[in-house]
Each structure stands twice: as C-alpha cells, then as structure tokens.
Amino acid sequence: MLIIFFRSIFLYILVLIAMRLMGKREIGQLQPFEFAIAIMIADLATIPMANTGIPITNGIVPILGLLAMHLVISILNMKSINARKIICGKPRILIFRGEIDEEALKKERFTLNELQEKLRDKDVANLGDIEYAILETNGQISIIEKPNKRKTIPEDFGIMPEYEGLPYDLVMDGKIMKQNLEKLGKDYNWLLEETVKFGYKPEEALIVTIDGKGQIFSQKKKGK
C-alpha cells in the first residue's frame, strides 16, 4: 500500500512537470496535438500507478517520449508555416461581412446552435451584430462586431486617459514581496509607513497592492 502511495506521488510530480513544460495555455486553448498528448500522458500515468507489478519505468519512458514529441512538434510549428497548417489546421471564417457561411459551418461540423452558444460566451446575443466570426484552430471563436454595435472607448470621444501602469503586489498573505519593492525603488520602512496608515503592520496584511498612480489597496488578515 505504501509503495502505491509513493508511486502515485512520483508519477503525479512527473505529469505535473510534463504539463508545465508544455506551456501555460488553458485546457480550452490547447491545440489538437497538445490536447491529445495531455490525454495520453494522463492515461499512461495511471497504468503503473495502481499496479505494482508493472515497472514504474513503463510509465516514465512513454511520458518522456510524448513530451519529447511535443517539443519537436512545437518547434516545427514555430519554424514552418506549412507544418503549422498541417498540424494545427487553419482558422475558418464562419460569419463574413454579417452573413453566415453555411459551407464553412458544414465543413467544420458546426451547428447554428453551437455558433450561437459561442457568441453568447462573448456576450453577444444577436447574430445580426456580428461582422466577422472566426473559428480559431484551438476551437475558440473570435468575433468582430459591426461598427455601430462595438463598445465605445475613450478615443471615440477624443479623450486620452492617464497612463495607469502595472499594479504590483507588495504583500501577499503576510509575506513581503521584496523583489517588487526593489522594482519600485522602495524599502520595508516605506511599506511599514504606508500600512500603518491602515492600522496594522505589513506582516498582518492579507494583501497590499499599489497601482501605477501610486494608490494603495490594503486588507488586514482576519484573526484566527
């Protein structure tokens, strides 16, 4: 029983490392070859996990082989446009200039209900508001709304908002983010002065952040 426990932990760590090396994309954004490899890695890990009669290398070697295959395919994708088209496919326009392309839907085996569902995910309820809808290679839908239906932005009114910059975490769960303080040219004494204004020390804070305008948000940890 203890052997199974440790084998499971080891294989879990191995799969976690393999998935981490594959990149940071979410499952819904994986390309078909990435999704296939992810499923196969998970399946291969379960074989030697519970059956102690199977050498653990029977799971390790295929997982490493699939990881190597993924790296090779990823390099091909980056180096060759033709290889990218074969491996990942090409985006397809489902709505062109406000008109649904029935042939494109048939080729992608995409129903109108599925198209409407994808558009609702993008907060678009009316098909008539869409100028272009593109089915990407990862299965996601990208949309371009008609000019009169697009959300307004400050530029439309001749307004130039102030530069906001990037917010930084200064304290996370009572732990001081020293690297972020250094990037801002600040030190602990400055942080202490700022958090004392809220009535507590940095170590007592749940979170402390600062935005590009120098505004600080802080919240104290609840006592146990």
Model confidence over 183-222: pLDDT tens digits?
999 999 999 999 999 999 999 999 999 988 889 999 998 8
pTM for the whole structure: 0.60
Among 64, 86, 108, the domain-final residue is: 86
79 and 96 co-located in one domain:
no
Contact partners, residue 171, CB within 8 Å, separation at least 6: 177, 191, 195, 202, 205, 206, 207, 208, 218
Which range marks the domain in which residue 200 is found? 168-220
Report the number of distinct structural domains present in the chain: 3
Residue 156 lies in a domain: no
**Are the C-beta atoms of residues 178 and 168 closer than 8 Å to each other?**
no
User: Token pair for residue 174?
Assistant: 């009572």
63 and 96 co-located in one domain:
no
Q: Which helix (H) or strand (E) holds 155?
A: none
Among 68, 86, 104, the domain-final residue is: 86
Among 54, 86, 118, the domain-final residue is: 86
User: Token pair for residue 117?
Assistant: 């569902």
80 and 96 co-located in one domain:
no
Residue 101 lies in a domain: yes
Read off the pLDDT of residues 25-69 as tens digits, 9 standing for 90 and up.
545 566 667 777 777 777 777 777 767 777 877 778 888 887 788
Q: What does the pLDDT read at residue 178?
A: 92
73 and 136 co-located in one domain:
no
Sign of the Cα pseudo-torsion (118, 120, 124, 128, in order): positive
Q: What does the pLDDT read at residue 25?
A: 55
Average model confidence (pLDDT) for the chain? 82
Is residue 79 predicted with pLDDT exceeding 60? yes
CATH number for the domain harbouring residue 96: 3.30.240.20
> What one-character-per-residue DSSP string does 97-143 give?
TTEE-HHHHHHTT--HHHHHHHHHHTT---GGGEEEEEE-TTS-EEE
Residue 53 lies in a domain: yes
Alpha helices in the chain (DSSP H): 2-21, 32-50, 57-79, 81-88, 102-107, 112-121, 178-183, 188-196
3-state secondary structure (DSSP) of residue 96: strand
Residue 52 lies in a domain: yes
51 and 77 co-located in one domain:
yes
What is the spatial distance between Cα 7 and Cα 2, in angstroms, rounded to a whole number? 9
**Are the C-beta atoms of residues 120 and 140 closer than 8 Å to each other?**
no
Contact partners, residue 135, CB within 8 Å, separation at least 6: 91, 92, 93, 94, 104, 108, 110, 141
Query: Where does the pLDDT of residue 23 fall: very low under 50, low under 70, confident under 90, or very high at 90 and above?
Result: low
140 and 189 co-located in one domain:
no
Residue 158 lies in a domain: no
Residue 163 lies in a domain: no
78 and 27 co-located in one domain:
yes
